[in-house]
Amino acid sequence: MRTGRLLVILVAIGAVAIAAIVSLGGSDDGGGGSTNASKPAGNAVRVPFAYSPEKEELLAPLVAEFNKDAPEVGGRPVFVEGQVVSSGEAQEKIGKQQLRPVAWSPASSLWGRLLNFQADQEWAPADNPPIVRTPLVIAMWEPLAQTLGWPKKQIGFDRILELATSERGWAAYGKPEYGAFKLGHTNPDFSTSGLSAVAAEYYAATGKREGLTVEDVEKPAVRKQIRDIERSIVHYGDTTLFFAEQMKKYGPAYASAVAMEEVTLLDFNRDRGGQPKLVAIYPREGTFDSDNPFIVLNAPWVTPEQRQGAEAFQKFLAERITPEVAAKAGFRPGDPDATPIPPITKENGADPAQPKRSLSLPEPRVLARIKSAWREDRKPANIQLVFDTSGSMGEEGKLEEAKRGLQTFFTQLSPRDRVGLIAFNDRVFPLVDVATFGSNQAELQRTVAGLLPEGQTAAYDAIGDGVGKIIALNDDTRINAVVALTDGEDNQSSSTVEQLVQALERQNGQEGEPVRVYTIAYGSQANKAALERIAQASGGKAFTGDPKQIEAVYRSISSFF
């Protein structure tokens, strides 16, 4: 089977790179940047406001409404500058002062705790009013959940973990046709649902519901169980929205279950593209509640006028976001005692009477250790880097910035990942063979540093060659991927984009782990449409970026591993 896949790919050799929009602060869902169209008055009190992407539908129009008729502070109008930024990336950038919002609404208060731990300062107050709420659920296809006894039986994390580590998979429940159990969750460095899911794994592995300690996280038996669970992962990622898109496209063959917030499940079921319904499993041991706090930062860059402006905006949101407004966007009211209203219903896959129990947030140092332990124990990857060195890469400093982007990518890898490098111009140059990063890191860094621009562009051939090399490894125990960057139109490949797309669709439809292609359209001359098609055909994702953004793009792609 694998040999056939390799021959198919080699017939349609290929290449390259591309695109999700990366904002100044980064975005969980490929969106980002300012969410209000009007411009502030010259004397306005500007209030930069960073918020997590799942709230964009809810908050973007409210930001615009507030700015249209804003209150004044000291005789000056307040202007809120909304920006969509993933929770984990915002926490890290605020801690490094690379992102300086006045107000911040991550998906969960746990990110405020981590910010204070990282900065060693109380920049996020201990108590912050929630905007809305949504619990973490295990989203499972309804027929699969019924196989486990849902809805009569309340399923726990222990059952999910048992399935995730079982060699028999669904055959253990009399459904061999469902194949292996495949789990999905986002990268806990970026995403609330990913961090919550991994923390919940630790609670389940230790049998605790509160009081998780660093010593618990470091127990060898617990770490082994987490490693075993993570082996069932399809891949990671920066947002559950990408998982939802893939589930809509590929159905149960893509993943058996995905850890996501209830709001994302409800959005999926509104338009599921002919796929079965997803139902929310609220684990009987308890789950985490994403409280979406409104945090006015106690940071050195926040002025008294900005603080007053942020407080005025928070009051505005509290008045405008009624239970009905929250529900329209798929959220529960911010008040935990308020009753959820439709569309949070059983008919839509949710249960307003659940969850019965909420897990307590671990202490910041425990959360930090969970994240670092996960990096050590996560499912490893086979990654083929494909990199454009054509003559046009020498213009406007593009090559040097892209090389810096690759070096940033290297910092996110595990020594257990296997990585190789292909460069291309008119021809394809396999420069570093795929090997464990722990053994070839120095060679990769040295080779990247020495790349020079020359020649034209054979991107499709290079991508096809990269996919073929990963397929030849015949390794279903790892996440298999190609990360390809190009800055121009392909004008030298022996194959066409149509041939490459068809070959990728074939390999993606066969048994085993597909090779997902993550493309980067680098600059305005890149063929974004072609690179988008290549990424989609493989089940990967397309990104775009210019020299100023490329490091952030590579870091976003690293979230999938």
Q: Residue 9: in which H helix or E strand, if any? A: helix 2-11
- 292 and 52 Cβ atoms separated by less than 8 Å: yes
pLDDT of residue 164: 87
Domains plus CATH for the chain?
2-23+378-558 (3.40.50.410), 45-132+291-334 (3.40.190.10), 134-290 (3.40.190.10)
Cross-strand pairs, 220: none
Single-letter amino acid, residue 123: W
d(CA 99, CA 89): 10
Residues of the chain with pLDDT under 50: 1-34, 36-37
How much of the chain is in helix, strand and coil states, percent to nearest 5? 45, 15, 40
What DSSP state is assigned to residue 558? Answer: H
Written in H, E and C, the secondary structure of 163-201 is: HHHCCCHHHHHCCHHHCCCCEECCCCCCCHHHHHHHHHH
Sequence-distant (≥ 6) Cβ neighbours of residue 86 within 8 angstroms: 26, 27, 28, 29, 52, 53, 190, 191, 238, 239
d(CA 132, CA 557): 29
What DSSP state is assigned to residue 295? Answer: E
pLDDT of residue 511: 72
- 380 and 361 Cβ atoms separated by less than 8 Å: no
Single-letter amino acid, residue 175: K
pLDDT of residue 69: 87
Q: Residue 377: in which H helix or E strand, if any? A: helix 364-377
d(CA 83, CA 303): 19
pLDDT of residue 353: 95
pLDDT of residue 157: 83
Per DSSP (E only), the strands in 127-267 are 132-141, 183-184, 257-261
Token digits for 170? Answer: 């669904």
